[in-house]
Chains A and B, each alone.
Chain A
């Protein structure tokens, strides 16, 4: 029972990071029907911003306070948002009226550019994320956790809530949903579609930056290719939850995290990724549009 709860807790902590990344995929898909493959690499950039900012703060003796950590997270969010904006402005906007496959290929290209550009700029060696906050081990009822895991959970939930509010509770969110519903009609209604799309990219990139910092905090080894697997899994999480659906992405991320955690703790830990993905295939066989998606036949 203890092991069960421990695995559940570990899975939720890992899953909440997938969920944060999955949100970026799902928002961009919802609005543009574009799978932004570079999103996992934006997450990597977020972690590196944290690495350099954290290193700078450590040299100036400014780490250890929650305020310092918040400033570092804010800087990662800002830089990622800028990257998301540039990405959309330079690589995707010129192709908006081109066949969808063209922007898809461009997305893959941007992804490689960030990965190998990252290897060139940061170096291919793994780097070790600075300790931004002192770690404490917390035990309750036989389950062990750290304040890091709780921070990851808390921050992830806070940002998901914030996003939910933005999408469903603000004027901008209404514009987003309108653009997502019908791009052309929305622009006829006087919605500044370009600005809405840019902002959506920036929001998604911000969340990826947050995820980068959270990962750096709890798994301190970062390298320029670290975004590939989490990016892929987050994409699967978004599909699992029903791509384009915001709460679906969150649930999808958590489901993947928990499944992985349980398989990893069984004697089949060799096949962790394989089993996790087989379960996903089975779920998709029964619910092709994901757990929360509406079924819409679509020609590809």
Chain B
């Protein structure tokens, strides 16, 4: 017994020393969020790792917006500052860095992530601390269902999956009857999107002839693709992220699968074609915007982005830009960075003109009626194949469900 006493005392004293006084950190929190000076916004994203370009593009988009706002005098005389953290494309790391942003940096709001699994890891932390979080581009519906402090700037997967299924069953001639699905089981985004694609595809009279899965980080997809090939689909729906897609495309072509692959906005990356090369020719994916869109808002953003980074912005950059501007707009309207008031102001965002379309946040904190484009990879470039615009077809919406009608794009 006596032998135990010393270690116990030692541990107890360590615990006591180790704990910082709680009241002090709370005190600084209110001081920075309500005082003058800079307003600190937190950003977390995959700057490195398997989805590295997602985080980098989003960050660049956010910085374009922040510079624009600060150049115009900031928010009610205060400049914005972004504290950016890298989650290395890992969900547990996303939870860590967001905890840090909130408890150590005392940010007033959080922007991020792209990958839904990472947003889902961080959202409960923002929610329980009552810090508003805007995800620019996580499309899984579960993300904003976490709570009333979580918002998003993009369309959601039921919409995206439906649009792609509609595209193949109604838009192309002859209509596609047989599809195969290849899912990344480790990703909420991939499993969700596949589920909604399948629902609409089957409802439209198609058949899913094969369903296979892989796990993020796998490098050998040949056995799944062999099974898919023997099922004889006319299209293979692979709602994964770009790093895996490039490899899947190469191996699919090696095995003699000649039908197009299709996917969602997780394909969007300047690295996609660098990895997949010719194997991706004739493949399709749905996206938030098309970089050659002639609308003045898009042209201006593309111009600014090119000047600063020397590259064309992908859709994740555009959504990052929109997210930062919506947040700044809400701060302006709220007149304070007090979190509950800021939350209410974000929730009240109506008719905000963004690069990815007009943003109207609905009661579920998702934007209503966002446009979707279907792109085809042709000669290593992205060609616009179709635009889905639900606002234009409000009347027709009854006939086709929530999606509205799909209109073929005039190239």
Contacts and interface: CB of A to CB of B under 8 A. Distances in A.
Interface in B268-288: 274-275
A117 interface: no
A125 interface: yes
B336 interface: no
A185 interface: no
B304 interface: no
A144 B256 contact: yes
Interface string B236-250: 000000010011001
A226 B220 CA distance: 12
B220 A219 contact: yes
Interface in A138-175: 139, 144, 146, 148
B50 A265 contact: no
B185 interface: yes
Interface stretch (A2-10, A19-27, A83-91, A283-291): A2-10
A219 B219 contact: yes
A67 B222 CA distance: 28
A125 B269 CA distance: 14
Interface stretch (B75-83, B208-216, B387-395): B208-216
Interface string B34-74: 00000000000000111010000000000000000000000
Contact of A10 (B48, B50, B212, B226): B226
A125 B52 contact: yes
A260 interface: yes
B254 interface: yes
B48 A125 contact: yes
A137 B258 CA distance: 13
Interface stretch (A186-194, A197-205, A266-274): A266-274
Given A124-B88, A219-B219, A220-B247, A144 B255 contact: yes
Contacts of A146: 254
B195 to A, nearest CB: 14
Contact of B211 (A14, A148, A267): A267
Interface string A42-73: 00000000000000000000000000000000
Contacts of A148: 254
B349 interface: no
A100 interface: no
Contacts of A112: none
Given A267-B211, A269-B212, A269-B214, A123 B48 contact: yes
A183 interface: no
A269 B184 CA distance: 11
Contact of B254 (A11, A137, A262): A137
A111 interface: no
Given A125-B49, A221-B275, A265 B227 contact: yes
Contacts of B220: 10, 14, 219, 264
Contact of B227 (A3, A128, A137): A3
B187 interface: no
A219 B227 contact: no
Interface string B180-221: 000001000000000000000000000000011111010110
A7 B247 contact: no
B283 to A, nearest CB: 18
Contact of A270 (B213, B226, B255): B213
Contacts of B13: none
Interface residues of B, number: 30
Contacts of B222: 10, 14, 261, 264
Q: Which of A11, A215, A272 has the most CB of B within 10 A?
A: A272
Contact of B256 (A7, A137, A270): A137
Interface in A108-135: 123-126, 128, 135
A124 B227 contact: no
A223 to B, nearest CB: 8
B230 interface: yes
B358 interface: no
A272 B215 CA distance: 9
B236 to A, nearest CB: 14
B223 A269 contact: yes
Q: Which of B48, B52, B227 has the most CB of A within 10 A?
A: B227
Nearest to B220: A14
B127 interface: no
B99 interface: no
B387 to A, nearest CB: 32
Interface string A200-219: 00000000000000010001
A139 B256 contact: yes
A269 B226 contact: no
Nearest to B274: A128
Contact of B219 (A135, A221, A261, A266): A221
Interface of B: 48-50, 52, 88, 185, 211-215, 217, 219-220, 222-224, 226-227, 230, 243, 246-247, 250, 253-256, 274-275
Task: List 4 A-B pairs, minimum CB-CB distance, nearest first.
Answer: A264-B223, A219-B219, A265-B223, A10-B222
25 contacts: A3-B226, A10-B223, A125-B48, A125-B49, A128-B275, A139-B256, A146-B254, A148-B254, A215-B219, A221-B219, A221-B247, A221-B275, A223-B50, A229-B217, A262-B223, A264-B220, A264-B224, A265-B223, A266-B227, A267-B211, A269-B213, A269-B214, A269-B224, A270-B213, A273-B215
